[in-house]
Every structure is written in C-alpha cells, then in structure tokens.
Amino acid sequence: MSHNIQFGTDGIRGQANTPPMTAQDALRIGMAAGHFFRRDQSNKHRVVIGKDTRRSGYMIENALTAGLTATGMNVLLLGPVPTPAVGLLTRSMRADVGIMVSASHNPYFDNGIKFFAPDGHKLSRAEEQEIERYCNDFVDCVDVSKIGRAKRIDHGLGRYVEFVKTTLPQNLRLNGLRIVIDCANGAAYRAAPDVLWELGADVVPVAVSPDGFNINRECGSTHPEQAKKKVIETRADVGICLDGDGDRLIVIDNEGQEVNGDQVLALLAKRWAKHDRLNHQTLVTTVMSNLGLERHLCSSGLSVERTQVGDRHVTELMRKKGFNLGGEPSGHIIMSEYSTTGDGLISALQFLAALVDSEVSSKEMTQVFEPDPQIIVNVPFSNGKQPLKNKNVTTIIQDNEARLKDIGRLVVRQSGTEPLVRIMVECQDEVIMREVASQLQSAIAQSAEPTIEAKQI
C-alpha cells in the first residue's frame, strides 16, 4: 500500500481517480467498513449506499459494494438521493451503516465517502480512526458461503420525500407561493421540486438536469447567480438554493438578494422560541457566525453557543446538551427533531412555513438583525503545503488578533474539504477590517504558493 487513508472533517474526500478516491481505495474502505460494522457471523447485516450525480459515483459505489460484500455485508443501493436521506434511511431501515458517496459543494472532479452509524448520525472520531486502521491493515474476506448480496431499491427516495413533507406544519400549505428551486444539478434534483409542488407551490426549477459533470457548476448554494436572475425574471416570492448533496440551504429573497445563513438561523430561533419549541432557549452555531446574530438573540432573551467550524461539531454539542436547533452561516441547518444532519430541503420548509405565516415579503422577513461588517477571503494553496505553520503567518495572525481584541474578531483556519485557508475578519471599523484581511491574505498567499490567484478583496 502506497498511502494511508484518512478521514477529514466530513468523511474521506479527494479528486476522483487519484488517492484516496481511486477504485482501489474505495474497495479498501468498503472492506474496512464491513469488517468494522459486522457484529457477528450472520448474513443479516445491511448497508445503505446513496450518491449524488457525479460520474465518478458509479465507480466508487461499485468498488465500495465489492469491498462490503466481500466482508459479508448486504448492500442496498439507493441511487441519487440527498445526504440527509441516507441518515434517515440508515435508521429507519435498521441498517448497520449508511454511506453517502458525495463531495458536497465541490466540483464534479472531486468525490467523497461519508458514513452514518446505525442511529443515523455521522461517526465519532474514534469510530473513524478504527476504520482508518482497518483501511491501512489487512482485512480477511469471509468464506464464499458468507459473501453478501447487493441490490438496487426504488423506494428509498419516495420514503424520504414523504417524510420531508410531514415536517411542514399540517395546517400550512404553500399554495400561492412561486418558488425558484435550484438543485445544483445534484442529489436533490428530483426530490426538491416534487416536495414543493406536492405541497402546493408554483415551482420554477433550476439546475435539475445532471449529466455527471455539471454538479455545482455555476449553480446551487455556492453559485446562486442563476437562481437570483430567475427570481427576478419570474417575479418569484423566494428562491431556494441547495448544494450538490442537498444538505445546505441558501435563500434568495424576492428582490433577488442572497440571504446569509445567519439571518435564517436568527429567524428560525426566534420563531421556535415564540412557539416554545427552542430547547433551552439556545441556538448552536460556529465561530464563523456574525456577532450581530449573537447580540440580537441575546437581546431577545435567547442564548447562543459556539463551536468549531463544521456541522459535526454543531451536532455533537446539540446532542450533548439537548439543543434542537443549530447551524452555520454557510447554510447547514440542523434540526434534531427532524434529521440527524443538515437537511437543505427540511430547512427550506421551515423557512417557507415562517414566510406563509408572516404575510410579508421574503425581503422584509429576512432582515432579522443588523450584521457587523464582516469579510471572508479564501486563499488556495498547493497540496503538501502547510501555510498556517509558517512562522511569519502565525506572527501576523497573533498581531492582528491583538489589534482586534476589543473591536472585532479574527478566525483563520484551513478548510477540511478543500486546499484553502479561510480568513474571516469582523470589525465595526471597515477600514481596519479590510487592512487586517489584506495583510493576512498577502502573507498566507506568499507562504502557500497557491495554485490559483487568491480572490482580491
């Protein structure tokens, strides 16, 4: 074996057909997962596997299936379904493990493998480390009489669609709402338009024709320009943008403006608190959320708890302390009453329920709080580089943290899913904010030898 397989912040991810996303790697990962999750020698163990619409999904799905069946696991292939559907079906179908083949919002040439435990939640770090150990060690195949079976099932997506519809309050319908739904040519391209139409909406679909290569390309939550134009063109009441695997939501208001995820979180937290639904009167979010969100909710008598970046950390704190609403400004929203992970479609329905009840435009409804000035810059770097360990960079970060101590915040971190350093600066003095961001961007870019030029501030 020429390389080790390691989990990142959200499963195992990389460029397809290069380590760790080759067919050989997927075979090793499948065998390791089968060995780990097969509790006894019976032939009753089952795995559900979903995927998004990338061409490489066929290769990885088949290689995983070979590895899993070689270790005695029976595989149920769901086909293209959103990531949260895999979490739901893992639990409801009493599977021993759920697997989603997806690289989320990344371009088509990337892919990834995410795992769900039998309870539908993502694996703990300790469980991931055990699977890593098996990936990088020898795993025995079962006797020929114990090889598992694999079959495709057609009802998985339908079960998910029916469940999602039940999350809209029974007394509400979406009749009269014109909704642009951008599915990023990804995993939700069938489910999302069907759910909205069946609940009464006038649906304007965008990016619902996947070809294996156009997932997230100039569409979806990371590129909402197409949806913005369509909202204006069709005079829609609101636009909903999902990402490639359907676990992220970005809202476009009726004037074609993007709504930050923090505004949606603030809206839902206040609405749930009003209806006595918000556990412990607390919203969970990450260090990336705007200070204006925290200030606004605290002034309304609510609390905010922050975690490291990543929906896993949000979910872990929610489970530990019994909170039921959390998320990130990027659009991951976790509602533990409904789902074990972020679900863009369920989040959209909760937002739409608030819109129906409000009797105001989506523009008016989403201006919940005044955010502090904030800038986010992504600096790419070459593989193998570690710019945040550069002495000059660490010194500049420390100096600017001291500079912002009483007037703002600074978060600098390496992405767990892409070769990027993410810089977030928040300060009520916009001149200082841009000075700090520019200085950090320049220092990191010089040490990182980026493969493409950093986006200029």
**CA-to-CA dists, residue 104 to 28, 54, 155, 246, 331, angstroms:** 22, 10, 23, 8, 12
Length of the chain: 457
Is there a domain that residue 349 lies in? no
Closest of 290, 230, 284 to residue 260, by C-alpha? 290
Query: For residue 146, is it within any domain?
Result: yes
Q: Of the residues 126, 154, 182, which one is the last residue of a structural domain? A: 154
Say if residue 258's pLDDT is above 70: yes
Question: Are the beta carbons of 436 and 425 closer than 8 angstroms?
Answer: yes
Q: Quick one: pLDDT at residue 383?
A: 67
Q: What is the pLDDT of residues 295-353, one digit of tens each?
A: 999 999 999 999 998 888 999 999 999 999 999 999 999 999 999 999 999 999 999 99
Spell out the residues 6+ positions from residue 132 whose beta carbon is closer than 8 angstroms to its own: 4, 5, 6, 7, 32
> Quick one: pLDDT band at residue 384, thresholds 50, 70, 90?
low
In-domain check, residue 290: yes
pLDDT at 416 (0 to 100): 74
Q: What is the structure's pLDDT at 400?
A: 93
249: in domain: yes
- Chain-wide mean pLDDT for the chain? 93
Same domain assignment for residues 246 and 312: no
Q: What is the per-residue pLDDT for 239?
A: 98
The end-to-end CA distance of the chain, in Å, is 43
Query: In this model, does residue 143 exceed pLDDT 70?
Result: yes
Residue with tokens 């950093």: 454
Same domain, 223 and 267: no
CA–CA gap between residue 253 and residue 236 (Å, rounded): 9
Q: Is the pLDDT of residue 451 over 60?
A: no
Same domain, 86 and 101: yes
Would you place residue 455 in the very low, low, confident or very high pLDDT band (cuts 50, 70, 90)?
very low
Same domain assignment for residues 87 and 178 = no
> Residue 420: inside a domain, yes or no?
yes
CATH of residue 24's domain is 3.40.120.10
| CA 432 – CA 403 distance, rounded (Å) | 9
| The pLDDT of residue 454 | 45
223 vs 233: CA distance, rounded Å: 18
The per-residue pLDDT for range 266-294, each reduced to its tens digit, is 999 999 999 999 999 999 999 999 999 99
Task: Please indicate, yes or no, whether residues 150 and 93 belong to a single structural domain of this protein.
Answer: yes
Residues 263 and 338 in one domain: yes
Q: For residue 417, what is the domain's CATH number?
A: 3.30.310.50
Residue that is last in its domain, among 107, 131, 154: 154
Report yes or no: 103 and 13 within 8 Å, Cβ to Cβ: yes
My answer on whether 311 and 406 are in the same domain is no
Tracing tokens 């909170």 back to the chain, one arrives at: 323
Domain check: are 72 and 196 in the same one?
no
Tell me what the mean pLDDT of segment 166-184 comes to: 96
Whether residue 362 lies in the annotated active site: no
Q: If residue 126 lies in a helix (H) or strand (E), which one and from where to where?
A: helix 125-135
Annotated catalytic residue within 56, 102, 104, 347:
104
Same domain, yes or no: 130 and 20: yes
Question: Pick the residue with more confidence: 97 or 407?
Answer: 97
Per the domain annotation, does 368 fall within a domain?
no
pLDDT band at 449 (very low <50, low <70, confident <90, very high): low
Does residue 138 share a domain with residue 62? yes
- On whether both 275 and 215 belong to a single domain, the answer is no
When pLDDT is averaged across residues 377-386 and rounded to a whole number, the result is 81
Which of 108, 125, 154 terminates a domain? The answer is: 154
Give residue 168's domain range.
160-257
Is 74 a domain residue? yes
Same domain, 426 and 385: yes
User: How many domains does the chain fold into?
Assistant: 4
In a domain? residue 126: yes
Range in 94-98, 134-138, 164-168, 172-176 the model is least confident about: 134-138
